[in-house]
Amino acid sequence: MIEPFDPAQAYKSLVAGLLQAANANGRDKVVLEDAEGTTLTYKQLVLASFVLGGKIARSTEPGETVALLLPNAVGLVVTLFGLNAFGRVAAMLNFTAGKKNLTSALRTGRIRTVLTSRRFLDAAKLQDLADTLAAIEWAPGKKVRILALEDVRSRLNILDKLAGAARAAIAGRFGHGSPKDADESAVVLFTSGTEGAPKGVVLTNFNLLANTYQMLDHMRAILGPEQILLNPLPMFHSFGLTAATFAPLFAGVKCILYPSPLHYRQICKLVERSNATVMLATDTFLTGYIRAA
Protein backbone atom coordinates (compact mmCIF):
# COMPACT_ATOMS: atom_id res chain seq x y z
CA MET A 1 0.00 0.00 0.00
CA ILE A 2 1.36 3.42 -0.95
CA GLU A 3 1.70 5.78 2.00
CA PRO A 4 -0.03 9.15 1.59
CA PHE A 5 2.29 11.87 0.36
CA ASP A 6 3.55 14.07 3.19
CA PRO A 7 3.97 17.65 1.93
CA ALA A 8 6.27 18.45 4.86
CA GLN A 9 9.16 16.64 3.20
CA ALA A 10 9.12 19.13 0.33
CA TYR A 11 9.48 22.24 2.50
CA LYS A 12 13.11 22.99 1.63
CA SER A 13 15.33 23.97 -1.27
CA LEU A 14 16.44 21.75 -4.14
CA VAL A 15 20.01 21.73 -2.90
CA ALA A 16 18.82 20.73 0.59
CA GLY A 17 17.02 17.81 -1.03
CA LEU A 18 20.23 16.82 -2.79
CA LEU A 19 22.20 16.98 0.47
CA GLN A 20 19.66 14.79 2.24
CA ALA A 21 19.79 12.28 -0.61
CA ALA A 22 23.60 12.23 -0.39
CA ASN A 23 23.50 11.53 3.34
CA ALA A 24 20.81 8.87 2.93
CA ASN A 25 22.40 7.00 0.02
CA GLY A 26 26.10 7.51 0.68
CA ARG A 27 28.17 10.45 -0.48
CA ASP A 28 30.54 8.19 -2.42
CA LYS A 29 27.77 6.68 -4.56
CA VAL A 30 28.12 7.44 -8.27
CA VAL A 31 24.81 9.09 -9.08
CA LEU A 32 25.35 10.99 -12.32
CA GLU A 33 26.91 10.22 -15.71
CA ASP A 34 26.63 11.76 -19.16
CA ALA A 35 27.16 10.60 -22.74
CA GLU A 36 30.83 11.56 -22.63
CA GLY A 37 31.45 9.26 -19.68
CA THR A 38 31.85 12.01 -17.07
CA THR A 39 30.69 10.62 -13.72
CA LEU A 40 30.02 12.28 -10.39
CA THR A 41 29.40 10.91 -6.92
CA TYR A 42 27.07 12.75 -4.59
CA LYS A 43 30.13 14.24 -2.88
CA GLN A 44 31.59 15.45 -6.18
CA LEU A 45 28.24 16.83 -7.35
CA VAL A 46 27.72 18.79 -4.15
CA LEU A 47 31.29 20.12 -4.15
CA ALA A 48 31.19 21.13 -7.82
CA SER A 49 27.82 22.85 -7.33
CA PHE A 50 29.05 24.96 -4.42
CA VAL A 51 32.33 25.89 -6.11
CA LEU A 52 30.72 26.84 -9.44
CA GLY A 53 27.67 28.40 -7.80
CA GLY A 54 29.84 30.57 -5.58
CA LYS A 55 31.74 31.90 -8.58
CA ILE A 56 28.55 32.66 -10.52
CA ALA A 57 27.05 34.33 -7.44
CA ARG A 58 29.81 36.93 -7.49
CA SER A 59 28.60 38.33 -10.81
CA THR A 60 24.84 37.99 -10.23
CA GLU A 61 22.34 39.28 -7.70
CA PRO A 62 20.41 37.30 -5.04
CA GLY A 63 17.10 36.19 -6.53
CA GLU A 64 18.26 36.98 -10.07
CA THR A 65 16.99 34.77 -12.89
CA VAL A 66 19.92 33.30 -14.83
CA ALA A 67 19.24 31.49 -18.10
CA LEU A 68 20.81 28.14 -18.94
CA LEU A 69 21.45 27.32 -22.60
CA LEU A 70 22.95 23.87 -22.12
CA PRO A 71 22.40 20.25 -23.21
CA ASN A 72 21.70 17.24 -20.99
CA ALA A 73 25.11 16.77 -19.43
CA VAL A 74 26.77 16.78 -16.03
CA GLY A 75 27.56 20.49 -16.35
CA LEU A 76 23.88 21.43 -16.59
CA VAL A 77 23.01 19.64 -13.33
CA VAL A 78 26.00 21.14 -11.52
CA THR A 79 25.07 24.63 -12.70
CA LEU A 80 21.41 24.22 -11.77
CA PHE A 81 22.19 23.14 -8.20
CA GLY A 82 24.93 25.77 -7.98
CA LEU A 83 22.45 28.52 -8.77
CA ASN A 84 19.97 27.09 -6.27
CA ALA A 85 22.59 26.89 -3.51
CA PHE A 86 23.13 30.65 -3.76
CA GLY A 87 19.54 31.77 -4.19
CA ARG A 88 19.53 32.30 -7.94
CA VAL A 89 16.72 31.16 -10.24
CA ALA A 90 17.52 28.93 -13.22
CA ALA A 91 15.62 29.69 -16.43
CA MET A 92 15.83 26.61 -18.65
CA LEU A 93 16.06 27.64 -22.32
CA ASN A 94 14.84 25.39 -25.12
CA PHE A 95 17.68 25.77 -27.60
CA THR A 96 15.49 24.25 -30.35
CA ALA A 97 12.84 26.96 -30.00
CA GLY A 98 14.44 29.40 -32.45
CA LYS A 99 15.60 33.00 -32.21
CA LYS A 100 12.15 34.58 -32.01
CA ASN A 101 10.88 32.46 -29.13
CA LEU A 102 14.12 32.64 -27.16
CA THR A 103 14.30 36.40 -27.60
CA SER A 104 10.76 36.59 -26.23
CA ALA A 105 11.69 34.27 -23.35
CA LEU A 106 14.63 36.43 -22.28
CA ARG A 107 12.52 39.58 -22.40
CA THR A 108 9.67 37.91 -20.51
CA GLY A 109 12.04 36.67 -17.82
CA ARG A 110 13.95 39.97 -17.68
CA ILE A 111 17.11 37.92 -17.98
CA ARG A 112 20.50 39.62 -17.84
CA THR A 113 22.82 36.61 -18.07
CA VAL A 114 22.80 33.44 -20.18
CA LEU A 115 25.11 30.62 -19.10
CA THR A 116 26.15 28.33 -21.92
CA SER A 117 29.10 26.32 -23.19
CA ARG A 118 31.33 27.38 -26.04
CA ARG A 119 31.85 23.74 -26.95
CA PHE A 120 28.09 23.17 -27.05
CA LEU A 121 27.48 26.22 -29.21
CA ASP A 122 30.07 24.99 -31.70
CA ALA A 123 28.84 21.38 -31.76
CA ALA A 124 25.18 22.36 -32.11
CA LYS A 125 25.94 25.23 -34.50
CA LEU A 126 24.21 27.73 -32.23
CA GLN A 127 26.73 30.56 -32.22
CA ASP A 128 24.44 32.65 -34.42
CA LEU A 129 21.66 32.17 -31.87
CA ALA A 130 23.99 33.21 -29.05
CA ASP A 131 24.93 36.35 -30.99
CA THR A 132 21.24 37.20 -31.41
CA LEU A 133 20.60 36.80 -27.68
CA ALA A 134 23.65 38.91 -26.85
CA ALA A 135 22.13 41.81 -28.79
CA ILE A 136 18.99 41.90 -26.62
CA GLU A 137 18.70 44.83 -24.22
CA TRP A 138 17.28 43.89 -20.82
CA ALA A 139 17.33 47.60 -19.97
CA PRO A 140 18.05 50.67 -22.12
CA GLY A 141 21.71 50.47 -23.14
CA LYS A 142 22.30 47.22 -21.20
CA LYS A 143 22.62 44.05 -23.25
CA VAL A 144 22.31 40.41 -22.23
CA ARG A 145 25.60 38.85 -21.20
CA ILE A 146 26.49 35.47 -22.71
CA LEU A 147 28.79 33.69 -20.29
CA ALA A 148 30.55 30.43 -21.22
CA LEU A 149 31.06 27.92 -18.41
CA GLU A 150 34.53 27.25 -19.78
CA ASP A 151 35.43 30.86 -18.93
CA VAL A 152 33.87 30.62 -15.46
CA ARG A 153 35.85 27.47 -14.69
CA SER A 154 39.09 28.94 -16.04
CA ARG A 155 38.78 31.82 -13.59
CA LEU A 156 38.35 29.58 -10.56
CA ASN A 157 41.28 30.02 -8.17
CA ILE A 158 42.38 28.22 -5.04
CA LEU A 159 40.36 30.57 -2.82
CA ASP A 160 37.19 29.86 -4.83
CA LYS A 161 37.76 26.14 -4.45
CA LEU A 162 38.50 26.34 -0.75
CA ALA A 163 35.46 28.52 -0.12
CA GLY A 164 33.26 26.15 -2.11
CA ALA A 165 34.63 23.13 -0.26
CA ALA A 166 33.99 24.81 3.09
CA ARG A 167 30.42 25.71 2.15
CA ALA A 168 29.78 22.19 0.85
CA ALA A 169 31.13 20.65 4.06
CA ILE A 170 29.04 22.90 6.28
CA ALA A 171 25.94 22.40 4.14
CA GLY A 172 26.47 18.64 4.12
CA ARG A 173 26.45 18.58 7.89
CA PHE A 174 23.82 21.17 8.68
CA GLY A 175 22.05 21.80 5.36
CA HIS A 176 18.61 20.47 6.19
CA GLY A 177 17.04 23.49 4.58
CA SER A 178 14.55 25.96 5.94
CA PRO A 179 10.81 25.76 5.33
CA LYS A 180 10.92 29.36 4.09
CA ASP A 181 13.15 28.21 1.20
CA ALA A 182 10.26 26.14 -0.13
CA ASP A 183 8.35 29.17 -1.38
CA GLU A 184 11.34 30.76 -3.11
CA SER A 185 11.44 30.63 -6.92
CA ALA A 186 13.83 27.93 -8.17
CA VAL A 187 13.28 27.31 -11.88
CA VAL A 188 11.56 29.01 -14.80
CA LEU A 189 10.29 26.89 -17.68
CA PHE A 190 8.92 28.39 -20.87
CA THR A 191 5.94 27.25 -22.90
CA SER A 192 6.46 26.44 -26.59
CA GLY A 193 4.79 29.60 -27.86
CA THR A 194 2.11 27.77 -29.86
CA GLU A 195 -0.50 30.15 -28.42
CA GLY A 196 1.53 33.30 -29.00
CA ALA A 197 4.68 34.42 -27.22
CA PRO A 198 6.24 31.84 -24.87
CA LYS A 199 5.01 32.17 -21.30
CA GLY A 200 7.35 31.86 -18.35
CA VAL A 201 6.22 29.36 -15.71
CA VAL A 202 7.89 30.06 -12.37
CA LEU A 203 8.29 26.99 -10.17
CA THR A 204 9.22 27.17 -6.50
CA ASN A 205 11.41 24.72 -4.64
CA PHE A 206 8.26 23.25 -3.13
CA ASN A 207 6.58 22.85 -6.55
CA LEU A 208 9.53 20.84 -7.87
CA LEU A 209 10.21 18.77 -4.77
CA ALA A 210 6.56 17.97 -4.12
CA ASN A 211 6.14 16.81 -7.71
CA THR A 212 9.33 14.74 -7.52
CA TYR A 213 8.54 13.10 -4.18
CA GLN A 214 5.00 12.27 -5.26
CA MET A 215 6.36 10.52 -8.34
CA LEU A 216 8.85 8.61 -6.22
CA ASP A 217 6.05 7.41 -3.95
CA HIS A 218 4.46 5.78 -7.01
CA MET A 219 7.73 4.59 -8.57
CA ARG A 220 9.39 2.93 -5.58
CA ALA A 221 8.35 -0.54 -6.74
CA ILE A 222 10.45 -0.15 -9.87
CA LEU A 223 13.00 2.51 -8.92
CA GLY A 224 15.42 1.29 -6.25
CA PRO A 225 19.07 2.21 -5.58
CA GLU A 226 20.26 -0.76 -7.64
CA GLN A 227 18.62 0.58 -10.80
CA ILE A 228 20.27 2.68 -13.52
CA LEU A 229 18.04 5.26 -15.20
CA LEU A 230 18.68 6.65 -18.66
CA ASN A 231 17.38 10.15 -19.30
CA PRO A 232 17.40 11.36 -22.92
CA LEU A 233 14.69 13.96 -22.25
CA PRO A 234 15.60 17.67 -22.16
CA MET A 235 15.48 19.44 -18.83
CA PHE A 236 13.81 22.49 -20.33
CA HIS A 237 10.58 20.43 -20.13
CA SER A 238 9.06 19.53 -16.77
CA PHE A 239 9.03 15.75 -17.26
CA GLY A 240 12.69 15.65 -18.23
CA LEU A 241 13.57 17.83 -15.26
CA THR A 242 11.52 16.27 -12.46
CA ALA A 243 10.77 12.64 -13.30
CA ALA A 244 13.91 11.94 -15.30
CA THR A 245 16.51 14.00 -13.39
CA PHE A 246 15.44 15.02 -9.90
CA ALA A 247 13.64 11.76 -9.13
CA PRO A 248 16.67 9.48 -9.60
CA LEU A 249 19.03 11.95 -7.92
CA PHE A 250 16.82 12.16 -4.83
CA ALA A 251 16.18 8.40 -4.78
CA GLY A 252 19.83 7.32 -4.90
CA VAL A 253 19.48 5.98 -8.45
CA LYS A 254 22.30 6.48 -10.95
CA CYS A 255 21.11 8.81 -13.71
CA ILE A 256 22.70 8.72 -17.16
CA LEU A 257 22.09 11.82 -19.25
CA TYR A 258 21.90 11.90 -23.03
CA PRO A 259 21.66 15.22 -24.92
CA SER A 260 18.92 14.45 -27.47
CA PRO A 261 15.89 12.14 -27.51
CA LEU A 262 16.04 12.12 -31.32
CA HIS A 263 19.18 9.99 -31.59
CA TYR A 264 17.26 6.72 -31.61
CA ARG A 265 20.03 4.33 -32.61
CA GLN A 266 22.64 5.91 -30.35
CA ILE A 267 20.29 5.75 -27.39
CA CYS A 268 19.56 2.07 -28.00
CA LYS A 269 23.29 1.39 -28.03
CA LEU A 270 23.75 3.44 -24.85
CA VAL A 271 21.07 1.39 -23.08
CA GLU A 272 23.07 -1.75 -23.77
CA ARG A 273 26.47 -0.21 -23.05
CA SER A 274 25.43 1.40 -19.76
CA ASN A 275 23.31 -1.53 -18.52
CA ALA A 276 20.43 0.88 -17.98
CA THR A 277 17.42 -0.80 -16.39
CA VAL A 278 14.95 2.09 -16.64
CA MET A 279 14.42 4.68 -19.37
CA LEU A 280 11.92 7.52 -19.37
CA ALA A 281 10.48 8.75 -22.65
CA THR A 282 7.31 9.97 -24.29
CA ASP A 283 5.18 7.75 -26.53
CA THR A 284 6.53 9.43 -29.66
CA PHE A 285 10.17 8.91 -28.76
CA LEU A 286 9.57 5.40 -27.42
CA THR A 287 8.14 4.36 -30.79
CA GLY A 288 11.31 5.59 -32.46
CA TYR A 289 13.51 3.65 -30.03
CA ILE A 290 11.57 0.44 -30.62
CA ARG A 291 11.92 0.80 -34.38
CA ALA A 292 15.65 1.50 -34.07
CA ALA A 293 16.35 -1.40 -31.72
What per-residue confidence (pLDDT) applies to 12?
94
Residue 225 lies in a domain: yes
Q: Is the four-CA dihedral 82, 211, 71, 191 of positive or negative sign? A: negative
- Count CB-CB contacts under 10 A for residue 9: 12
SS3 38: coil
How many independent structural domains does the chain possess? 1
Q: Is residue 237 part of a domain?
A: yes
Rounded distance between C-alpha atoms, residue 243 and residue 234, angstroms:
11
> In this structure, which amino acid lies at residue 82?
G
In percent, the amount of the chain with pLDDT more than 90 equals 77
In a domain, residue 248? The reply is: yes
Lowest-pLDDT range of 42-46, 73-77, 107-111: 107-111
Question: Which range of residues forms the domain containing residue 279?
Answer: 7-292
| Distance set, CA 115 to CA 6, 65, 66, 133, 215 (Å) | 35, 11, 7, 11, 30
Mean pLDDT check: name the lowest of 2-11, 134-143, 212-221, 259-268.
2-11
pLDDT at 222: 83
Highest mean pLDDT among 89-93, 139-143, 171-175: 89-93
User: Is residue 2 domain-resident?
Assistant: no
Higher pLDDT, 171 or 38: 38
Q: Say if CB 244 and CB 216 are below 8 A apart.
A: no
The string of pLDDT tens digits covering residues 2-33 is 567 788 889 999 999 999 999 999 999 999 99
In a domain, 279, yes or no: yes
Q: Is residue 1 part of a domain?
A: no
pLDDT of amino acid 212:
95
pLDDT, mean of residues 114-130: 96
Q: Is residue 265 part of a domain?
A: yes
Contact 164, 51 (CB under 8 A): yes
pLDDT band with cut points at 50, 70 and 90 for residue 1: low
Residue 170 lies in a domain: yes
For the stretch 151-184, pLDDT in tens is 999 999 999 999 999 999 888 776 666 788 999 9
Q: For the residues 27-42, what does the mean pLDDT come to? A: 96
Q: How confident is the model at residue 72 (pLDDT cuts 50, 70, 90)?
A: very high
Residue 212 has, within 13 A of its CA and on its CB side, a CA count of 28
SS3 of 169-230: the string is HHHHHHCCCCHHHHHCEEEEEECCCCCCCCCEEEEEHHHHHHHHHHHHHHHCCCCCCCCEEE
Question: For the domain that residue 195 is a member of, what is the CATH number?
Answer: 3.40.50.12780
